[in-house]
Amino acid sequence: MDEALLRSLTPSVLAVLVRRGADFAAAEDAVQDALVEAVRVWPADPPRDPKAWLVTVAWRRFLDAARADASRRRREDLVDEEPAPGPAPAVDDTLQLYFLCAHPSLTPSSAVALTLRAVGGLTTRQIAQAYLVPEATMAQRISRAKRTVSGARLDRPGDVATVLRVLYLVFNEGYSGDVDLAAEAVRLTRQLAAVIDHPEVAGLLALMLLHHARRATRTAPDGSLVPLAEQDRSRWDTKAIAEGVRILQAALARDRLGEFQAQAAIAALHADAPTAGETDWVQIVEWYDELVRLTGSPVVRLNRAVAVGEADGPPAGLAALAELDDSLPRHAAAAAYLHERNGDPATAARLYAEAARKAPNLAERDYLTRQAARLNARRCR
């Protein structure tokens, strides 16, 4: 059974049903029924046209459900519109389906869950495991999201920026349970790039590939974090890096710079450096300047301050950091790093300990705690 094929066909089949007049929630249920039937039937009797088979079965399941639901009697008229068997139409509504799942009325978490379910073809159980929540909780979240977008149609221009933000959130979830969300985000972004010609879509895909290329080196065998400067660069995925750089260069050549392209440019400079000491920090600061101009984000300014500390020396980095609100996430960790580089281990140790208490996850907390302990032990010798 080709599970990858089923998942790749899911969004286009769902989009066909919605375009024919099915509301989103009912169409999604019908598609899931068709996928279950495919798993049962295809191993013994594979269809010549898998997409047409799924569309036909899903449409019939939708019509059966419509007939059985007295509150939806108006859908009886759709029975006469059942298309004749044959190849599915070549129209690709996948892009509009992305827009629908990233509807502005949905919360980010609901948009991510609905995208993984409807576009990604994941089961509710897989999504729940990935987010470490009970399956019933995720089912309710997805049901609410489906109800919210059920009245929307696939006939309006969508907001590309919202879709990209949702995919970026999926990527940043990384890996948990039996679903690799980072790899899933790369797959979905590739799919999006195939149906829309937009430099920021290319920029996001490049960014994901460049970050994903370093994944194997981000943690030690015991699960502890390995900072970028200490990663074994010989283990980076050079094929993914080359692809990411190629995609980024083509996007930048279009001279429509966006934040994902700028982030990808920074990631490319890190990937291009043979060693941490050979990193072109001056160029990285210049790209952070562009990113600040594009976003105005305080978090971007925080990252820029660290880059300034590498390019122009720790005092310059600390001066840039002093201009920012010290309640920013990871502000204490950045300050600790710069103070250590500036020859002030006592202040650095105190700030590492403070950063550990504020860490968003266990792995980061353990890393920062070890940094504080290392500096304190050095002072006691």
For every residue of 203-251, DSSP letters joined together read HHHHHHHHHHTTGGGSB-TTS-B--GGGS-GGGS-HHHHHHHHHHHHHH
Q: Residue 175 phi/psi, 5° resolution?
A: -135, 135
Q: pTM (2 decimals)?
A: 0.78
Q: Residue 134 phi/psi, 5° resolution?
A: -60, 150
Give the type of residue at 274.
P
Helix (H) or strand (E) holding 258: none
What is the block-wise mean pLDDT of the chain (381 residues), using blocks of 10 residues?
82 87 87 91 90 92 78 45 44 69 83 85 82 87 87 64 86 68 87 89 97 93 91 96 97 95 97 95 97 94 97 97 94 97 96 94 92 89 67
Taking the CA atoms of residue 12, residue 179, residue 270 and residue 347 in that order, the dihedral angle to the nearest 10 degrees is 140
Continuous H helices in 74-134: 94-101, 108-114, 124-131
- Per-residue model confidence (pLDDT) at position 133: 82
Taking the CA atoms of residue 125, residue 130, residue 131 and residue 133 in that order, the dihedral angle to the nearest 10 degrees is 40
- Per-residue model confidence (pLDDT) at position 178: 60
Give the type of residue at 289.
D
Rounded CA-CA distance 308/289 in Å is: 10
User: Across-strand partners of 176?
Assistant: 179
Cα dist from 361 to 24, 41, 44, 183, 356, whole Å:
36, 44, 47, 21, 9
Name 61's Cβ contacts closer than 8 Å, sequence gap at least 6.
29, 30, 33, 34
Q: Map tokens 């994903």 to a residue.
A: 212
Taking the CA atoms of residue 331, residue 336, residue 338 and residue 341 in that order, the dihedral angle to the nearest 10 degrees is -170
- Per-residue model confidence (pLDDT) at position 200: 96
Closest CA to 217 of 241, 181, 243: 241
